[in-house]
Amino acid sequence: MNSYLYFYRVLLPSGETKTGFSQFAFEREFSAQLWLERRHKAIVLSLFRCPGWLHGLTRFFAGLFSPAVTNEDLSGLLRDLSLMMRGGVPMIDGLRTIAGEAAFGAGRGVSVAADLLYEELEGGATVSQAFSRHPDLFPEVVCNLVDIGNESGTLDRMFLEASAHLERLATMGRDARRALIYPAFVFFSILAAAVFWLYYVIPGLSDMFRQFHAKMPALTVAVLRFSEWMHAHFALSASLLLLLILIPWIAFRHNKKVRNLAFALGHRLPISGLLLRTSGMAFFTEHLALLIRAGLNMLQSLDILERATTDEYYREAIGKIRRVVERGEHLSAAMRATNRFPPLSLRMIAVGETTGTLDEQLGHLAQEYRRRLSHVIASLSEIIKPVIILAAGAFFIFVIVALLLPVYDLIGQVMSGAR
């Protein structure tokens, strides 16, 4: 069911009028009118359903100016909801309580997510609709768990499962960001130093070399000419640099062939391949275990997993697995046919299918691959540090050879002439 944006003007019991916008699940204006009269205890003077494009525009700008909602925020929200529902608190009251508490604390993202869900439920949406209308905020796996909990009456348990899942994803992402902080800082420091030299230092050196008619090596001449061109064509050079960053990013985001090529190449390279394989297996086993444990059958789980996977290499493999399973084959046999999964996972999944403990075996695999991913990230961070230091040293050696040594030679020539 879609949501609709209404503009309303109501007469309050105090005699004042109130106007505003509100989002409802009601397509008929009469239903929205009844809800407004009950909510505000007022008389509706005018009510207008806004066109769909205006609704989409308001949601877009609301998303731009709203605080970012992280996996940690969503995990905390779902965990608190589960706790209060187990204590007998209705979900809508729990959301209002969470929004009120988070507004006074550091978790502003929790307040935003709670307010969104509260407004959806107040507007007549079901619990499943409230989550599914915000796919940019709630992952598809979480939405499916909410659907299952809503239908089976185990919503509090599904909230807890989804919270633990998001917390594990947040931990993996936090480890990856921690490993990349140092390399990113050094890289941008080198880039900033290069831009400073090209635009501010080298033009002055170029003028000095011309005044003294100094003889310069070919490398120095090339660097000076490049700096002069960038200084003279600042807008063009900045635009080219921006395009070099944006074009690959846009192509990767919106072109499936580019994504397939990028992931295929990444899986073949030594370091990136190890990282992608480990993270891909952690994602695959974690999500599949969660979906099967929640009660979905294998085909439904694979279908959801195929849509949720961002790695095109594994998405293609999951699609092949799903088509083979549809023909009645076991999961382990279908995975083996793709030749993209390690023997350890194949063996344990085969054991799980034989003994009826597939969700447990997938859970053990997920735990193992998360441990391996943490180890790989920690190892890569230690490997990257000396590589970055070598890159920084190479940059400064280049600056010394191309610019500083000719300056010393020029000073020597001037002093010799003075004598």
Mean pLDDT computed over 195-216: 75
Q: Note the pTM of the prediction, 2 decimals.
A: 0.67
Of 310, 346, 295, 321, nearest to 147 (Cα)? 295
Q: How confident is the model at residue 355 (pLDDT cuts 50, 70, 90)?
A: very high
CB 230 within 8 A of CB 198: yes
Residue 216 has pLDDT above 70, yes or no: yes
How many residues make up the chain in this entry? 419
Mean pLDDT computed over 25-54: 75
Residue 43 has pLDDT above 50, yes or no: yes
Of 297, 288, 271, nearest to 341 (Cα)? 288
pLDDT tens digits along 292-319 = 888 888 998 898 888 888 888 899 999 9
What's the pLDDT at 353?
Answer: 92
All domains of the chain in start order, with CATH: 4-63 (no CATH), 67-169 (1.20.81.30), 180-419 (1.20.81.30)
Report the SS3 class of residue 135.
coil
Q: Which residues pair with 17 in a beta bridge?
A: 11
Mean pLDDT of the residues in the chain:
81
CB 293 within 8 A of CB 352: no
Hunting for tokens 């080219």 — which residue is that?
Answer: 240
Contacts of 396 (CB under 8 A, 6+ apart): none
pLDDT tens digits along 260-269 = 888 888 888 8
Q: What percent of the chain has pLDDT over 70?
A: 89
Q: How confident is the model at residue 364 (pLDDT cuts 50, 70, 90)?
A: very high
What's the DSSP call for residue 124? Answer: T
What's the pLDDT at 334?
Answer: 93
- Distance, CA of 18 to CA of 9 (rounded, Å): 6
